[in-house]
Amino acid sequence: MSSTVSPLAPTDVPEMPAIAGVKLATAAAGIRYKGRTDVLLAIMEKGTTVAGVFTRSKCPSAPVEWCRAKLGRGQARALVVNSGNANAFTGKTGRQSTALTASIAAKAVGCQPGDIYLASTGVIGEPLDATKFDGVLDDLAAKTAPEGWMDAARAIMTTDTFPKVATATVKLGKAKVTINGMAKGAGMIAPDMATMLSFVFTDAPISAGALQSLLKAGVEDSFNAVTIDGDTSTSDTLLAFATGAAAAHGAPKISRASDPRLKAFVKAFHAVLANLAEQVARDGEGARKLVEISVEGAVSKASARRIAMSIANSPLVKTAIAGEDANWGRVVMAVGKAGEPANRDKLSIAFNGIRVAQRGARDPSYDEAEVSNAMKQPKIAIKVALGLGKGRDRVLTCDLTKEYVAINGDYRS
């Protein structure tokens, strides 16, 4: 957690309303950090459904494996999150730590260990001493309250410079339902479902199966369309919890994601995910520029995504942006290496609305001073038109600065 807040941090932070059926509390357990909170406990009412998507890394953390194994039950009573230690690459010890943490939490909450969901973020390869949760979770369970969303988001931060929250209120049937979300992540971000964790809560009565379908669809153009450094974490976890408490106010019970009554909810749900994902991009380690990369005219959306990611993950493109240098030759390079259909002589590129290249050459009206001035903006939009088809996509990233190297050069030590 940095003491210097990213210059790209949102200026408007929403008031986070209470969600019926969810109570939160945070504590300092001394897992890695001194003098700050590092444990979050969220307790949900009985009947809460759960859905999740996780890292596709072949070296997943112990909490990821724990959650995957429990997800089929479709129900949850509590979430325990710790920062400072990822409990990843910790072998048998890591598995024992998750079991012990879940057991301690279940006792504190009064439920089965299988109804406890876990997430950890921080250093990889260090054993997590789960005995530090003993007593702490009992205290937290006694003091959970419907407020404290910002404190919760702060407790799960590692190299983040600001807590990330988003909220939406929408009608489901004739009842008002609320969606609250929080996320953490600033480095090792290239979600494939970064040390990225995100948790979304709603009081809507939605079955686990329908919630899973919504989450899987919603992640594609939000979290999976963000990259900071191209590195997919061992710990990526996105969990959604639906308490169903709004049923008491007339919200219809939803069992299918295709239910037409869900239309407004789905739009709001996706907006919360997209908001959180953008905040992750805005908090990229050492970032000074938010970068939006749009690719159009590709042979398919999937092809456009791969080309956009090739540009977004290029250290040469990202360092040029950090230096406020409109080096569009590096964008050409990234398009060419993506392994996707592209025709050099049909390609056009624009920076912040100023076309710099077209039809395989520099734009005839190219003005170095005009483009250099545009590169000084805090948000840089790179648009690539391939001229091959109707496929289009958009991803978010940030620049690559010296500060990124400084943060990661001594992350463990």
State the binding site. 158, 184, 195, 285, 408, 413
State the binding site for substrate. 158, 184, 195, 285, 408, 413
SS3 for 248? helix
Structure tokens at 180: 């609250």
List, in order, residues 6 or more apart from 318 with CB less than 8 Å away: 291, 312, 397, 398, 399, 400
Q: List active site positions.
A: 195
Q: What's the average pLDDT block by block, 10 residues per block, for the chain (413 residues)? A: 83 96 94 88 98 94 97 97 94 97 97 98 92 94 96 93 97 97 82 75 98 96 92 91 98 98 98 97 93 98 98 97 95 97 97 95 93 96 98 97 87 59
Burial of 409 (0-12, 13-18, 19+ CB in 10 A): exposed
Rounded CA-CA distance 344/335 in Å is 9
Confirm if 391 and 297 have CB atoms less than 8 A apart. Answer: yes
Euclidean distance between the first and the last CA atom of the chain, given in angstroms as a whole number? 15
For residue 2, count other CB atoms closer than 10 A to its CB. 17
Architecture label for domain 22-282: 4-Layer Sandwich (3.60)
Structure tokens at 2: 């940095």
Predicted local confidence at residue 192, as pLDDT: 61
Rounded CA-CA distance 413/207 in Å is 45
CATH 3.10.20.340 fits 290-409, yes or no: yes
Rounded CA-CA distance 413/151 in Å is 27
For residue 1, count other CB atoms closer than 10 A to its CB. 19
Rounded CA-CA distance 265/170 in Å is 6
CATH code 3.60.70.12 region(s) in the chain? 22-282
Q: Which residue has the tokens 């500060």?
A: 403
Predicted local confidence at residue 194, as pLDDT: 46
Q: Which residue has the tokens 């006792």?
A: 107
Rounded CA-CA distance 125/248 in Å is 46
CATH code 3.10.20.340 region(s) in the chain? 290-409
Predicted local confidence at residue 32, as pLDDT: 81
Predicted local confidence at residue 82, as pLDDT: 94
